[in-house]
Chains A and B, each alone.
Chain A
Amino acid sequence: MPSRRSPFINAIAAARSYYRNLGDTASAVVIWALIGALFVWALIGETEALVIGIVTGSVFALGAIGLTLIYGILKFAHFAHGDAMMLSAYLAFFFLTGTVVGERTDTQPLHWSLNDLPGAAEPLMGFSFGYGLLLSMAVAAVAMAIVLVVLDRLIYRPLRRRGSGIVIFAIASLAVAISLRSVILMFWGPSPRFYVRGIRPTTDLPFDIRVVTDQFFIFAAAIILAALVYAILFRTKLGKAMRAMSDNADLALVSGINTERVVTWTWAIGGTLVAIAGVLLALQSQLKPELGFVLLLPLFASTILGGIGSPQGAFAGGMIVGISQEVAVTFGFLSPGYKFSVAVVILIVILLVRPRGLFGAQQR
């Protein structure tokens, strides 16, 4: 209570908080200036890399939004997020083509698949895929939402009831991550797979920029989903309850909010986002079982850069990490194999300079 302290101590406290705020503002200004510089430079010198970066960033952004929501509500780092993303991509692959391996041979699909629907494989509006992929993506999103809710019931909720610490949750989600990856290997094997084979249609933009048409779809999907999440969080009762619970779970309970139901919805929303992100990622590159684990790093870098618990931050963070990564590779800093090290550098720098991230709440 400030009134009971001596004026001298109050003066020191005031000065300290003044300089802390100054440092805080300065770190934000420097980071935003760097980001601005990167963007302008990429726009002028590395336009193609910028486009790919925005596409990669879209995928990171969707994954990071889910990660940050789960952290906000449940207060733990969901290490299975990358593998959940990849498993969703494989689920969509399964619904699309009916292909599994294991006992069956690789080339012998099941007797049904969404691509067998009439005209489902016909390319839509200049994209490389037909409505079969959109349907598969939707089904995979529902499936992953259910998978994450069931995993919560089976694993995380019992831990929650027991009052387990953050380390227990982290290890449990790591175990889930390994299990999900094993499921991929069991059903679809280790070799890379593609939704669509063959050359992809491109679109020419002004200034001699050529873009794979699918990339418009990826970016648009990310923007629409991010806007939807924003609308849910700020316009609906459920979303407000999610933000309330993220602020103070005990008070949410005291207010009469059914916090378990909020948790369920959080997993469902996170699962939907991560599933669509996975399909978009596989559409842009390919399906590889170990890709999910590799993705964890840029996902966490995006989340922390944006400020953990902040969905707007996660979106911005995802874009920034995606663009930096691609630009660094094209510029020749790095061979493409080391691409993900950019995320490590960003992660370390942000933790040192500004741990609360770009949009995160100030620690008190």
Chain B
Amino acid sequence: MSIVLQATGIVAGYGEVEILHGVSLSVQEGEMVAVIGPNGAGKSTLLKTIFGLLPVREGTVLLRGEDVTNQPPDRIVTKGMSFVPQTENVFPSLSVNENLEMGAFIRRDGLRERLERAYDLFPDLTARRGDRAGQLSGGQRQMLALARALMLDPDVLLLDEPSASLSPKMVDSLFEKIGEINRTGTAILLVEQNAREALAKSQQAYVLAMGENRLEGKAADLLDNEEVAKLYLGSDLNDA
């Protein structure tokens, strides 16, 4: 297996505030990798930095061995990485179909096939293709956001807390979908508050704390790890 995405010694933050103090991780081809950790650990910041939405102050990001450090998102997208933000991840005034078209904006051809594939993967969206995305339910919106990011058939998909603000039932079907996407060969880098679910579905996992790597290993091992269990899996209060 080869490495699809490798981030090394990432230092980043907002303005004067440094949030990541040298985080490293790597994603193998077709693998699902979870990043868990308490609030403020820098999980979302890490994804935004990898995707070029925040400047990388130190460190490198390699995509299939190619240096994409500090490249703008619209360039990174062309190289096989897609990103689903945590909130506001659909265009509310555009129709479902137009949202998907925007996902394939950089491609000139094959739109029809890409749309067909998206509707095959998310049949719930088919009946609503003409509706404005703002009218969708929370769960359908997340599905649309996923479908939009998959329009370019990326090698690796970055997901920022996809289960946040969904009902428990929706969370289950969402993770099922994510697993399905992963089985088709798309590597997934998943940031989650819902640590137990994320670890259960992933192969590899990283635990971040205070903007640094705390633990890493096989997801199953971390699920059994005492420290992880105590800190991040204990009660609902810690999850919130």
**A→B interface (CB under 8 Å):** 1, 3, 237, 240-241, 243-244, 246-248, 250-259, 361
Contact = CB atoms under 8 A, between A and B. Distances in A.
B91 A254 contact: no
Contact of A255 (B88, B92, B93, B105): B105
Nearest to A1: B165
* 9 closest residue pairs by CB, A with B: A256-B77, A247-B91, A256-B106, A244-B91, A253-B73, A244-B102, A255-B102, A256-B74, A257-B105
Contacts of A259: 74
A319 B94 CA distance: 26
A253 B48 CA distance: 12
B103 A255 contact: yes
A243 B72 contact: no
B41 interface: no
A256 B152 contact: yes
A360 to B, nearest CB: 11
Interface string B101-130: 111011000000000000000000000000
Contacts of B148: 255
B73 A247 contact: no
Contacts of B232: none
A223 to B, nearest CB: 24
B150 to A, nearest CB: 12
A254 B101 contact: no
Contact of A240 (B73, B85, B94): B94
A3 B152 contact: no
B17 to A, nearest CB: 15
B78 A256 contact: yes
A309 to B, nearest CB: 9
Given A255-B105, A256-B77, A256-B106, 18 more contacts: A237-B105, A244-B91, A244-B94, A244-B98, A247-B91, A247-B92, A247-B93, A251-B91, A252-B91, A253-B74, A254-B73, A254-B77, A254-B83, A256-B73, A256-B152, A257-B102, A257-B105, A361-B92
B16 to A, nearest CB: 14
Contact of B85 (A241, A247, A251, A256): A251
Interface centre among A241, A244, A250 (most CB of B within 10 A): A244
Which of B51, B83, B90, B102 lies at the interface centre, i.e. has the most chain A CB atoms within 10 A of its CB?
Answer: B102
Nearest to B78: A256
Main DSSP-derived SS at the A contact region: helix
B89 interface: yes
A246 B77 CA distance: 20
A255 B80 CA distance: 12
Contact of A241 (B88, B93, B102, B152): B102
A240 B93 contact: no
21 contacts: A237-B101, A243-B93, A244-B98, A251-B85, A251-B88, A252-B102, A253-B53, A253-B73, A253-B74, A254-B73, A254-B83, A255-B77, A255-B105, A255-B148, A256-B73, A256-B74, A256-B103, A257-B105, A258-B74, A361-B92, A361-B93
B51 A254 contact: yes
A243 B91 CA distance: 9
B167 interface: yes
Given A3-B167, A240-B101, A244-B102, A251 B74 contact: no
A361 B133 CA distance: 13
Contacts of A258: 74
Interface string B124-162: 000000000000000000000000100010000000000
A240 B74 contact: no
Contacts of A257: 74, 102, 105-106
B166 to A, nearest CB: 9
Contacts of A361: 92-93
Nearest to A245: B91
Contacts of A253: 53, 72-74
Interface in B45-101: 51, 53, 72-74, 77-78, 83, 85, 88-94, 98, 101
A361 B91 CA distance: 13
Nearest to B240: A4
B131 to A, nearest CB: 15
A250 B167 CA distance: 26
A240 B98 contact: yes
A59 to B, nearest CB: 27
Contacts of B74: 253, 256-259
B104 to A, nearest CB: 8
Contacts of B91: 243-244, 247-248, 251-252
Kindly name the residue among A240, A241, A244, A251 whose own CB sees the greatest number of chain B CB atoms within 10 A: A251
Contacts of A250: 53, 85, 88
Contacts of A244: 91, 94, 98, 102
A254 B93 contact: no
A130 B98 CA distance: 43
B52 to A, nearest CB: 9
A247 B89 CA distance: 11
